[in-house]
């Protein structure tokens, strides 16, 4: 076959045709794919690499590209262009049908259909689908399901062809169609930047690529407005509630820049003022020592922070009359009956909780926060109060319920989220029906969840917030617990005395040493460890991966732990040799290897298998599962292409389009572990993590372990983590709003113009 070359001396362009056997890797965001192709008259599978809008195992592809010799992986075919053709062989048709492309047809059903109709299969499905009833095991109900799936595909085919022509994956094309229906093409053509706010998974970067493909100008006002909001959204991922205007301009200029286009700061500033005028941005004036700063908020952030501060002050303003002598008498009886002596700090906390509307209970591990909370709950019960308990995560709520003997819920369930309206049903007009509310792990409260929670607290109720400010702050924007404490407006009890029984734990003692900037006392790993805090000094990341495998294979089972149930690997980062991505593949193969009786499926290069531990990665209000919830895959239906995950309280099913919401969780980041405890924690720390290493990161990771913690890596990485106090300033005005700073003027935007 003749070939051509684009440039003299470059490899010739060649053509290749074959059937996709399997995907090694596929990114929905970029389309970058590594796959294995079976070509006619070749015994070995061919590795193909390129960008594909949509690709499935079983597809027959005609490819144009060049051959490259990869130094590590050998010969690869670099794809420049491709098109799909109908599969021509029985095996190809079977793989194509069973790939998950058609809901209701999995590998088993595909095999039956092809066995019955042979090479006529695709024509029959397209023109005489009712004949599928002839296939053994396919009932009318299944035929109807397949027909519905095909009709749906036909309805969106035009949309998908259009979008794929502009680099949009099938998954996102379906979501776009669900969002806009028949107006999809018109909407995307007119303003593709709407996708960034309307469709989950499509951010500004993807929308910008689509816009450029459509020929939209880089200085489009739509682009500037979307870019500015994107920059604020990115800053929220760093914990910020706003950005000072100069910083917003600087970040926006960098974000909007293209290889052939450089925006000017004054253009960005002009659009900021235009967005203020259109209420797309809200600006707060902050005057300090004669100079005025302009602080730029996305409206939801401003409203949440402003109303949170007002509601907290409203709660604090409501008086409460309590007989303190009766409270002290009850406390004396309680200590006598339980044969437990509370410290002076704990007793003070109980008395304060009885007499104040809002109280914060804080302190490190082993200082008695849990027992103090339990005592406060017992007191409130004795006072005849209706009490509710909640925590940000399902696991933390379950633990809170166990230690208090009182039902506890997640905050989302407590607030009764309604998927139809996409709002919490509990609010200031319909408050939580309780006289007292306990919120544990309050350090995890971000701005929006805190605002939703506080406004749902009845002004006649009491609120106890329990948390440890030395842990990592919330994943979401704000620094709510710390701001509440430093405002000076809320009664606070900080427990500092470490109890004798807690002092026996080296995990707790070392956590306090780390907090004080001291290196932990660590015992080297041995077959018979004498403490619950160990160290394995594997010097390089590659050694660390091997060391973790050996711990899970040998030491931990010998100590009586079951890796599939008891062991959690916590990493500072997702990337790198000892990041969560790499370790999840290693640990899955080690702890939950493939087995004929364990169904599995592959999506975008990720293998999901029955028995796998998985993590919910976004808030899904329809399924009532939330970012950070951890569960185990209990079933995979290859016919329906459905994955069922069992969480702490119930089971949840995902179809193919929503599988990007979950990921493997044999290894998770320390940030994602907040609010959870595990019998055994393995904590790899290496200098390649230096960007993330910090004292509160190490402290948080270590204190997730209940029975045994094992630090893996060189001591200099541990030392660096202890030295780096990365309580990086988060841009938030909550503390100032609570502490008597003049009220925010909601008409400031027009005043600035």
Phi/psi of residue 187, nearest 5 degrees: -65, -50
∠ CA(79), CA(83), CA(86), 5° rounding?
130
Name residue, tokens 């062989």.
89
Specify which residues 630 forms β-bridges with. Answer: 615
Q: How far is CA 420 from CA 313, 423, 430, in A?
A: 32, 8, 17
Specify which residues 53 forms β-bridges with. Answer: none
Instruction: Say if CB 301 and CB 236 are below 8 A apart.
Output: yes
| Ranges of H-type helices in 363-479 | 369-382, 394-404, 411-414, 447-455
Instruction: Say if CB 707 and CB 679 are below 8 A apart.
Output: yes
Give the strand order in the sheet containing 387-391: 408-410, 387-391, 436-439, 462-467, 358-363, 492-495
Instruction: Say if CB 541 and CB 577 are below 8 A apart.
Output: yes
Nearest to residue 592, comparing CAs of 615, 570, 610?
610
Provide the sign of the torsion angle of the four alpha carbons 620, 622, 624, 630, taken in this order. Answer: negative
For residue 723, the tally of other CB atoms under 10 A from its CB is 11
Q: In the numeric block, which tokens belong to residue 486?
A: 């430093």
Please tell me whether 370 is known to bind a ligand: yes
Beta strands (DSSP E) in 537-605 are 567-571, 600-603
d(CA 750, CA 584): 52
Q: In the numeric block, which tokens belong to residue 658?
A: 């929503």
Q: In the numeric block, which tokens belong to residue 388?
A: 């509710």
Angle between helices 344-355 and 324-338 (to 10 degrees): 130
- Residue 652 DSSP SS3: strand
Please tell me whether 368 is known to bind a ligand: yes
Name residue, tokens 């009766």.
326
Provide the sign of the torsion angle of the four alpha carbons 722, 723, 729, 730, taken in this order. Answer: negative
Instruction: Say if CB 454 and CB 425 are below 8 A apart.
Output: no
Q: In the numeric block, which tokens belong to residue 259?
A: 């290889």
Q: In the numeric block, which tokens belong to residue 284?
A: 């707060």
CA atoms within 13 A on the CB side of 617: 14
DSSP state of 183: G
d(CA 493, CA 481): 13
Give the strand order in the sheet containing 243-244: 243-244, 291-297, 282-288
Angle between helices 506-515 and 695-702 (to 10 degrees): 170
d(CA 328, CA 326): 5
- Residue 392 DSSP SS3: coil
Nearest to residue 366, comparing CAs of 551, 249, 513?
513
Please tell me whether 420 is known to bind a ligand: no
Nearest to residue 411, comparing CAs of 607, 605, 627?
627
d(CA 178, CA 184): 9
Specify which residues 243 forms β-bridges with. Answer: 296
Specify which residues 84 forms β-bridges with. Answer: 61
Nearest to residue 212, comparing CAs of 167, 176, 253?
167
Instruction: Say if CB 481 and CB 360 are below 8 A apart.
Output: yes
Q: In the numeric block, which tokens belong to residue 739?
A: 């502490």
Please tell me whether 517 is known to bind a ligand: no
Please tell me whether 366 is known to bind a ligand: yes
Binding residues: 366-370
Binding residues for ATP: 366-370
């Amino acid at each position: 076959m003749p070939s051509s070359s684009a440039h003299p001396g470059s490899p010739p362009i060649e053509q290749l045709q074959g059937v996709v056997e399997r995907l090694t890797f596929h990114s929905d965001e970029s389309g970058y794919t590594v796959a294995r192709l079976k070509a006619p008259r070749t015994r070995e599978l061919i590795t193909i690499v390129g960008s594909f809008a949509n690709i499935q195992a079983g597809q027959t592809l005609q490819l144009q590209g060049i051959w490259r010799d990869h130094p590590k992986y050998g010969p690869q075919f670099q794809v420049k262009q491709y098109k799909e053709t109908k599969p021509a062989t029985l095996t190809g048709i079977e793989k194509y049908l069973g790939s998950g492309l058609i809901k209701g047809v999995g590998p088993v059903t595909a095999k039956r259909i092809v066995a019955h109709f042979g090479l006529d299969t695709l024509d029959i499905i397209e023109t005489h689908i009712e004949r599928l009833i002839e296939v053994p095991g396919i009932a009318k109900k299944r035929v109807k399901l397949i027909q519905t799936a095909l009709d749906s595909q036909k309805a969106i085919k035009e949309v998908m062809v259009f979008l794929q022509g502009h680099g949009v994956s099938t998954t996102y094309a379906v979501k776009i169609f669900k969002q806009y229906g028949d107006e999809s093409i018109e909407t995307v053509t007119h303003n593709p930047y709407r996708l960034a706010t309307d469709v989950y998974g499509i951010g500004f970067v993807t929308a910008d690529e689509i816009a450029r493909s459509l020929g939209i100008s880089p200085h489009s006002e739509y682009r500037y407005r979307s870019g500015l909001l994107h920059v604020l959204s990115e800053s929220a991922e760093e914990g910020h509630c706003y950005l000072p205007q100069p910083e917003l301009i600087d970040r926006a200029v960098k974000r909007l820049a293209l290889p052939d286009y450089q925006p000017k700061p004054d253009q960005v500033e002009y659009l900021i003022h235009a967005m203020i005028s259109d209420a797309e941005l809200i600006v707060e004036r902050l005057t300090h020592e004669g100079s005025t700063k302009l602080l730029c908020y996305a409206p939801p952030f401003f409203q949440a922070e402003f109303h949170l501060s007002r509601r907290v002050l409203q709660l604090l303003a409501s008086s409460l009359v309590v007989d303190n002598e009766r409270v002290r008498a009850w406390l004396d009886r309680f200590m006598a009956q339980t044969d437990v002596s509370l410290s002076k700090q704990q007793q003070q906390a109980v008395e304060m909780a009885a007499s104040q509307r809002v109280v914060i209970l804080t302190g490190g591990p082993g200082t008695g926060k849990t027992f103090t909370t339990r005592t406060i709950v017992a007191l409130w019960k004795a006072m005849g109060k209706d009490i509710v308990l909640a925590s940000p995560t399902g696991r933390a709520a379950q633990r809170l319920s166990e230690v208090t003997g009182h039902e506890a819920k997640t905050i989302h369930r407590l607030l009764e989220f309604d998927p139809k309206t996409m709002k919490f049903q509990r609010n200031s007009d319909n408050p939580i029906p309780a006289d007292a509310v306990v919120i544990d792990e309050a350090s995890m409260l971000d701005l929006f969840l805190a605002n939703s929670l506080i406004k749902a607290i009845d002004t006649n109720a009491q609120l106890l917030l329990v948390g440890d400010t030395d842990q990592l702050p919330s994943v979401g924007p704000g620094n709510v617990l710390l701001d509440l404490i430093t405002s000076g407006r809320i009664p606070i009890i900080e427990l500092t005395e470490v109890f004798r029984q807690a002092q026996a734990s080296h995990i707790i003692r070392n956590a306090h040493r780390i907090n004080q900037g001291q290196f932990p006392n660590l015992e080297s790993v041995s077959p018979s460890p004498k403490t619950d805090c160990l160290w394995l000094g594997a010097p390089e990341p590659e050694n660390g991966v091997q060391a973790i495998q050996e711990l899970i294979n040998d030491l931990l089972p010998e100590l009586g732990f079951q890796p599939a149930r008891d062991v959690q690997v916590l990493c500072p980062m997702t990337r790198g040799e000892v990041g969560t991505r790499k370790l999840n593949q290693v640990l899955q193969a080690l702890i939950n290897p493939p087995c004929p009786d364990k169904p599995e499926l592959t999506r975008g290069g990720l293998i999901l298998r029955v028995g796998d531990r998985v993590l919910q990665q976004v808030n899904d209000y329809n399924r009532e599962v939330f970012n950070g919830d951890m569960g185990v895959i209990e079933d995979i239906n290859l016919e329906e292409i459905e994955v069922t995950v069992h969480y702490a309280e119930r089971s949840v099913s995902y179809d193919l389009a929503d599988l990007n919401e979950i990921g493997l969780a044999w290894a998770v980041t320390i940030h994602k572990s907040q609010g959870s405890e595990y019998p055994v924690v393995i904590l790899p720390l290496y200098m390649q993590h230096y960007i993330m290493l910090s004292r509160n990161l190490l402290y948080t990771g270590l204190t997730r372990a209940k029975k045994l913690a094992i630090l893996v890596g060189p001591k200099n990485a541990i030392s660096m983590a202890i030295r780096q106090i990365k309580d990086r300033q988060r841009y938030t005005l909550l503390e100032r709003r609570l502490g008597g700073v003049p009220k925010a003027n909601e008409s400031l935007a027009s005043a600035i113009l």
